[in-house]
């Protein structure tokens, strides 16, 4: 089935995750995405290898599937001119270089809009396109740090801990896709493209809109997660079990009585300290103190069965292997099996978006460096002789 963005052409000159992952999602949606990389070097993500002797890169494969690869040196006039020619028929340009880099090469929004007024020019940065830190380079960890996320993780008294995923890059990529899709709709009405700018720090602030709003309203910093969430003073936290951990997502009035009866503590249901939906700090400390030894009495699987019976909301704390082994995530296409170039079946991360008429279709294949250069340049109208000249000059 055709994707929702069939017929949309994207040129991506991204590095690592923020820009490339945005372009990968557009490819899943059916867009034709051309990945532009520096000849002989390519995206830095190619070099984050799986391990000694295994030169594959999870970063590159995960963020560049379904694209066509073109090598082009944009620092040279010839390379910039080829890029401009490609944008004549493109819909979207994606980058996440340091702000001002494409402008220095004559490939900024105004430059490309003069060639193609319908172009949508999307750029991601670390600290934002303006301000005193705009020119600073960074990466995911900078977004987590400067955006305040790391200050919220872990428990009081412990050192701050980064999130164990490239969450700032990922949120930045989703914000970029959101802006691009809105710009496509706007262009349908106006006939004109526009500039879109997102950043890692901006994405982290938006992702913590509730917590930042709490601070703006009260002047009080919410604080660390402390196994739960600083703004939810209730049985909303993870508890250690006999063999792992489980998340208890609160206890409703309906589930509370049944839960305490099932664990052999019916008197707790009558304790006035635990009547309210949201508890005082002292009440919460008392409740947690009662529950922690109780949860240690059973395994995680046993708790899943008991909490299900009680009608409580819960989820086991799982590692990646346990998630991949879950039948439900496969039924929802959060992981899928697809064929690679050799016809071999590969398990890949699917997409979190389901569309009934234009389903997203993830690929297993990320392009080799410059794999489709000749094909793409011929589509742009260049002859075989032209392409050979470009290769000789080191432009492609």
pLDDT digits (tens, 9 = 90+) for 364-377: 899 999 999 999 99
Same domain flag for 192 and 53: yes
pLDDT in the model for residue 265:
94
Q: Is the pLDDT of residue 340 over 90?
A: no
Same domain flag for 249 and 145: no
**How many structural domains are present in the chain?**
2
pLDDT in the model for residue 341:
84
Within-domain flag for 215: no
- What percent of the chain stands above pLDDT 90? 96
Same domain flag for 32 and 154: yes
- Cβ pair 26, 5 in contact under 8 A: yes
Same domain flag for 134 and 282: no
Within-domain flag for 331: no
Same domain flag for 198 and 291: no
Which residues are CB-contacts of 187 (< 8 A; sequence separation ≥ 6)? Answer: 118, 120, 193, 194
Same domain flag for 132 and 278: no
Within-domain flag for 341: no
Within-domain flag for 355: no
pLDDT in the model for residue 342:
86
Q: What is the pTM of this model?
A: 0.96
Question: To 5 degrees, how large is the angle CA 207–CA 209–CA 215?
Answer: 135
Report the CATH number at residue 243.
3.30.1540.10
Within-domain flag for 32: yes
Provide the pLDDT confidence category of residue 390 given band limits of 50, 70 and 90. Answer: very high
Same domain flag for 182 and 269: no
Same domain flag for 274 and 147: no
Q: Could you give the count of Cα atoms lying within 13 Å of 108 in the half-sphere of its Cβ?
A: 10
pLDDT in the model for residue 65:
95
Report the CATH number at residue 373.
3.40.50.10540
Same domain flag for 54 and 174: yes
Domain limits at 176?
A: 9-207+366-393
pLDDT in the model for residue 141:
98
Same domain flag for 240 and 200: no
Same domain flag for 375 and 242: no
d(CA 206, CA 103): 27
- What percent of the chain stands above pLDDT 70? 100
Within-domain flag for 344: no
pLDDT in the model for residue 285:
96
Question: To 5 degrees, how large is the angle CA 240–CA 243–CA 244?
Answer: 45
d(CA 347, CA 214): 41
Provide the pLDDT confidence category of residue 43 given band limits of 50, 70 and 90. Answer: very high
Within-domain flag for 353: no
Same domain flag for 128 and 240: no
């Amino acid at each position: 089935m055709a994707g929702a963005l069939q017929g949309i052409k994207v040129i991506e000159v991204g590095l690592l995750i923020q820009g490339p992952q945005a372009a990968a999602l557009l490819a899943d949606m059916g867009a034709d995405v051309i990945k532009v990389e520096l000849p002989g070097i390519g995206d830095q993500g190619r070099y984050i290898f799986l391990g000694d002797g295994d030169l594959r890169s999870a970063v590159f494969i995960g963020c560049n599937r379904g694209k066509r690869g073109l090598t082009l040196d944009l620092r040279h006039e010839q390379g910039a001119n080829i890029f401009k020619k490609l944008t004549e028929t493109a819909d979207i340009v994606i980058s996440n270089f340091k702000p001002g880099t494409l402008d220095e090469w004559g490939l900024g929004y105004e430059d490309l809009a003069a060639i193609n007024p319908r172009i949508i020019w999307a750029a991601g940065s670390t600290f934002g396109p303006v301000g005193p830190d705009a020119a600073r380079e960074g990466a995911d960890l900078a977004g987590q740090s400067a955006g305040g996320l790391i200050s919220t993780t872990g428990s009081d008294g412990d050192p701050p801990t980064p999130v164990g995923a490239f969450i700032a890059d990922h949120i930045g990529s989703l914000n970029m896709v959101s802006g691009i899709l809105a710009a496509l709709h706007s262009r349908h009405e106006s006939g004109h493209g526009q500039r879109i700018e997102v950043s890692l720090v901006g994405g982290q602030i938006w992702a913590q809109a509730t917590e930042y709003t709490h601070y703006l309203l009260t002047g009080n910093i919410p604080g660390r997660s402390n196994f739960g969430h600083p703004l939810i003073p209730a049985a909303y936290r993870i508890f250690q079990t006999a063999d792992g951990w489980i998340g208890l997502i609160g206890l409703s009035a309906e589930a509370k009585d049944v839960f305490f009866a099932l664990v052999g503590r019916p008197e707790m249901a009558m304790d006035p300290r635990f009547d309210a939906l949201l508890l005082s700090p002292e009440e919460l400390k008392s409740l947690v103190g009662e529950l922690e030894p109780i949860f240690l009495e059973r395994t995680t699987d046993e708790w899943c069965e008991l909490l299900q019976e009680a009608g409580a909301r819960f989820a086991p704390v799982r590692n990646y292997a346990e998630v991949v082994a879950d039948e439900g995530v496969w039924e929802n296409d959060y992981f899928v099996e697809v064929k690679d170039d050799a016809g071999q079946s590969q398990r890949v991360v699917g997409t979190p978006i389901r569309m009934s008429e234009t389903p997203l279709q993830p690929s297993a294949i990320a392009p080799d460096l410059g794999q489709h250069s000749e094909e793409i340049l011929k589509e742009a109208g260049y002859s075989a002789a032209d392409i050979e000249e470009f290769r000789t000059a080191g432009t492609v």
